[in-house]
Amino acid sequence: MKNYLFELKEGLIISFRAIRANKIRSVLTTLGIIIGVWAVVVMSTAVKGIDQAFQTGVASLGSDNLYIDKWAWFNNDIPWWELRNRENIQMEDFEKFKDLAKLPLAVAPTLMTRQTISQEGNKVEFTLITGTNADYVKTTNLNFEDGRFFSQLESDGARAVCVLGYTVANQLFPMGYPIGQYVKIKGKKVKVVGVLEEQGSWVMGDFNPDNQVYLPIGIIHKYFQNETWGSVTINVRAPNSLMVEDVKEEAIGVMRRVRGLTYDQKNDFSVNQQEGLLTNINETIGVIQIAGYFITGLSLFVGAIGIMNIMFVSVKERTKEIGIRKAIGAKKRAILGQFISESAVICLIGGMLGLLLAIVTSLIINQYLPTTIQEDAVILAVVISLITGILSGFAPAYTAAKMDPVEALRYE
Amino acid sequence: MNIITIEHIAKIYQVGTEEVRALSDVSLKIDANEYVAIMGPSGSGKSTLMNILGCLDTPTKGKYDFTGVNVSEMNDNELAQIRNEKIGFVFQTFNLLPRSTALHNVELPLIYAGIPTVERRERAEAALENVGLSDRMTHKPNELSGGQRQRVAVARALVTKPSIILADEPTGNLDTKTGEDIMYLFNEIYEQGNTIILVTHEEYIAEHANRIIRVRDGLVESDLQVDNRKIPEKRVEQTEEG
């Protein structure tokens, strides 16, 4: 046991000496491992970041929410023309639904339109505008940076008030304080009563609350009726996630009654859920992950071949040294250990440099993805570089270990 | 007591379809505290004999008994251990590790023997002091003269307190004066009670031994005691050149 330790220490000392003696070669060899480890660490961090971004993005929809819509988000079995031919969901449908549905915590209608919104010289074109009522906040997890959502009175009376998403507010009021100010939507003056807190995730795109404006649904009907998507979506929030299925059952029954469907008629509406979105996203991320690991694994493999190559050269060059060591009593395992530890040290140094590079890269990625390198990435880097070193060093070390001392000593 | 007993040893190499008999049939006995020179022209088989005596190689036929152990059928690792513990090598080309200091070179066999760090250092320092290099311990081989390098090699050979010192043309790469210094060192070692086997083709060097074995064509040609062995004199001036 003691011998192993001494030999290991001797192996490490020799490795550092050999690496120092061949600086340029070592740097070039290590480059392969640096890039390999960098790719693997960045890849795993990025995938984790993408995943996290999607999860939080989708979570902002709320896991307890259902969306009764003319359209199906994930449609595998209903032909698209059937969806198109469905009748629009109207405000009357919503009112009836609201009266009949007993289980939901809250329900709110939404009707979308896209308009240019401006304030003084600043404008945001083609902004997604959601028309809704005061109950909308209860169906979401939105928080306010400033101000409030519009009240029951304001929404029922179709007052000209609005709530701005964080990004929209910043674009319209780069310096000023938006609350109480007026913005213009298609020439109409609308008073800002609230600004939402930043959501941050880019995943939902335009549907991210950051990029939206909220108006009382009455305003939409009054001024933008012909520019809406036509059909109202009914947002339904279950009291808790355990009740989502019950709420869904009830919602389907109630909607069928509202639509006056007989038992042999198909649903002419869809009940959409975040869950479907998550399944889809997880599948996509799974594919990205596999492809990513395969490609980065390949670059690591190329790096490993580089190490193996250079270790063979190193063994050949040091044939005489191997002969000397064997003559004075180095056993096979000592020589084996010496070269494997040399290759492991090269790879470990490369791995650390790759990790360092990955940390720098992650700071850049961090601008787009909510992720940072964590301890597991450090462990990953150490483990893969060590394993790469040991595996790629083994064959050259083995050739060294089984050299004939007489031949090796004669080598010049 | 016999340290070395070899009986009817042969070493046969297969070169293509041809058999090359480097050693045909050699039997020898070497006692403790002998000073033996093995002589012979190149191609005589003396190198093969030396490799077998040094446990670097095993014979094809015959039996080799070294310090009471049959080493002719040992595997590589067992031979490595024998070399480590019982044989000290001194080579013509010194064979020091170029990137290591003199001290580390001398420590090396002790590392493979698993001697703890402190003891290892002490023993290596003592061995270097013994060959008169206490002021050169941290020098690397390329910072030492030829004679100094060979003395580091001698220190490395002695540091494990081996049963035999096996020297292969130890003065071959040195000028005559430096060679004499090395022979003086060998004489000291011998007089301290060590067993030395010296392989050389120079008559003048062989005359330092008290027994000369001549090898030719894979056989022992003659094996004679030397009556008046040459005792080297210490040079007054210890100037050293590469």
Between A200 and A313, name the one with better pLDDT.
A313
Tell me the pLDDT tens digit for each residue of A247-280: 999 999 999 999 989 888 888 899 988 777 777 7
Amino acid in the structure at residue A142:
L
Name the average pLDDT for chain B: 91
Contact A329 B100 (CB under 8 A): no
pLDDT digit string, tens, across residues B62-103: 999 999 999 988 999 999 999 999 999 999 999 999 989 999
Q: What is the DSSP letter of A198?
A: P
Q: Is A328 within 8 Å of B89 when comparing Cβ atoms?
A: yes
Q: Confidence class of residue A20 from pLDDT cuts 50, 70 and 90?
A: confident
- Residues paired with residue B164 on neighbouring β-strands, in sequence order: B87, B195
- Of A19, A3, A2, nearest in space to A341 by CA: A19
Residue B236 lies in a domain: no
Burial category of A29 from C-beta neighbours within 10 Å (exposed 0-12, middle 13-18, buried 19 and up): buried
Report pLDDT for A15: 78
pLDDT value at residue B242: 44
Question: Is B120 domain-assigned?
Answer: yes
On average, the pLDDT of chain A sits at 87
Q: Which residue has the higher pLDDT, A100 or A14?
A: A100
> Across the interface, which of A3, A21, A327 has its CB nearest the CB of B114?
A3
Average pLDDT (B105-131) is 93
Say if B97 is an interface residue toward chain A (CB within 8 Å): yes
Q: What is the pLDDT of residue A201?
A: 62
DSSP for A225-270, please give it: GGGB-SSPEEEEE-SSGGGHHHHHHHHHHHHHHHHT--TTSPPSSE
CA angle A188–A89–A269, rounded 5-degree value: 140
Amino acid at B122: E
The verdict on residue B235 lying in a domain is: no
Domain that holds residue B138: 2-225
| Residue A363 CA, distance from chain mean position | 15
Query: How far A345 CA lies from chain B's nearest CA (Å)?
Result: 18
Q: What percent of chain B has pLDDT over 70?
A: 97
Asked if the model's pLDDT at residue A5 lies above 80, the reply is: no
* Dist CA A164 CA A149 (whole Å): 10
Position A85 pLDDT exceeds 50 = yes
Predicted pLDDT at B151: 94
Burial class (CB in 10 A: 0-12, 13-18, 19+), B22: buried
Contact A332 B80 (CB under 8 A): yes
Sequential DSSP letters for A346-390: HHHHHHHHHHHHHHHHHHHHTTTSS----HHHHHHHHHHHHHHHH
Q: Is B92 on the interface with A (CB under 8 A)?
A: no
Element (H, E) at A13: helix A2-21
Across the beta sheet with B195-200, the strand order is B87-90, B164-168, B195-200, B35-39, B211-216, B219-225
Structure tokens at B132: 């008169």
Tell me if A17 sits within 8 A of A343, measured CB to CB: no
CATH code assigned at B142 = 3.40.50.300
d(CA A148, CA A129): 17
Question: pLDDT band for position A64 (50/70/90)?
Answer: confident
Residue range A120-154, pLDDT digits in tens = 888 888 899 999 999 998 888 788 988 999 999 99
Note the pLDDT of residue A204: 65
pTM for the model:
0.73
Query: Cβ of A329 and B114 within 8 Å?
Result: no
Q: Is the pLDDT assigned to residue A2 strictly greater than 70?
A: no
- d(CA A339, CA A319) in angstroms, rounded, equals 12
Give the model confidence (pLDDT) of A389-407 as tens digits: 999 999 999 999 999 999 9
Q: Position B13: which residue type?
A: Y
Query: What total number of domains does chain B contain?
Result: 1
Cross-chain CB nearest to B56 (options A7, A321, A405): A405
Residue A347 has pLDDT above 60, yes or no: yes
Q: Return the sign of the alpha-carbon dihedral for residues A306, A307, A311, A314.
A: positive
Task: Confirm whether B8 is domain-assigned.
Answer: yes
Least confident of B155-159, B181-185, B234-238: B234-238
Per-residue three-class SS string for chain B: CEEEEEEEEEEEEEECCEEEEEEEEEEEEEECCCEEEEECCCCCCHHHHHHHHCCCCCCCEEEEEECCEECCCCCHHHHHHHHHHHEEEECCCCCCCCCCCHHHHHHHHHHHHCCCHHHHHHHHHHHHHHCCCCCCCCCCHHHCCHHHHHHHHHHHHHCCCCCEEEEECCCCCCCHHHHHHHHHHHHHHHHCCCEEEEEECCHHHHCCCCEEEEEECCEEEEEEECCCCCCCCCCCCCCCCC
What is the Cα gyration radius of chain A? 32
CB contact at 8 A, A328 and B85: no
More confident residue, A81 or A407: A407
Examine residue B232 and state whether it is found in any structural domain, yes or no.
Answer: no
Tell me the pairing of strands B164-168 and B87-90.
parallel
CB contact under 8 A, B80 and A409: no
- To test the contact with chain B by mutation, choose from A1, A6, A16, A328 the residue with the greatest count of B C-beta atoms within 10 A, namely A328
Phi, psi of A148 (to 5 degrees): -155, 175
Neighbours of A61 (CB within 10 A): 19
Mean pLDDT across A301-305: 90
Q: What is the mean pLDDT of residues B166-173?
A: 92
Is it the case that residue B241 has pLDDT exceeding 70? no
What pLDDT does residue A61 have? 67
What confidence score (pLDDT) does residue B59 get?
93
- CB contacts of A10 in chain B (<8 Å) are 108, 111
Q: Is A207 a residue whose pLDDT tops 80?
A: no
Contact B198, B209 (CB under 8 A): yes
The reported pLDDT for the residue numbered B212 is 95
Whether B231 is in a domain gets the answer: no
Closest C-alpha to A46, from A266, A265, A364, A394: A364
- B111: nearest CB among A6, A333, A409: A6
Question: What phi, psi does A167 have (nearest 5°)?
Answer: -65, -45
- Which one is predicted more confidently, A121 or B183? B183
> A213 pLDDT exceeds 90?
yes
What single letter denotes the amino acid at residue B239? T
Q: What is the mean pLDDT of residues A88-104?
A: 92
Nearest-Cα residue of chain B relative to residue A20: B99
The pLDDT of residue A202 = 60
Q: Tell me the pLDDT band of B239, cut-offs 50, 70 and 90.
A: low
The backbone torsions φ and ψ at residue B193, rounded to the nearest 5 degrees and listed phi first, read 105, 10
Cross-chain Cβ contact A328/B97 below 8 Å: no
B237 assigned to some structural domain: no
Q: How sure is the predictor about B236, in pLDDT bands with cuts at 50, 70 and 90?
A: low
The answer to whether the CB of A264 falls within 8 A of the CB of A60 is no
Cα–Cα distance for residue pair B67/B163, rounded to 1 Å: 8
- Quote the CA–CA distance of B132 and B235 in Å, as a whole number: 14
Interface residues on A facing B, Cβ-Cβ cutoff 8 A: 2-3, 6-7, 10, 17-18, 21, 320-321, 323-334, 405-406, 409
Q: Which of B161, B94, B138 is nearest to A327 (CA)?
A: B94
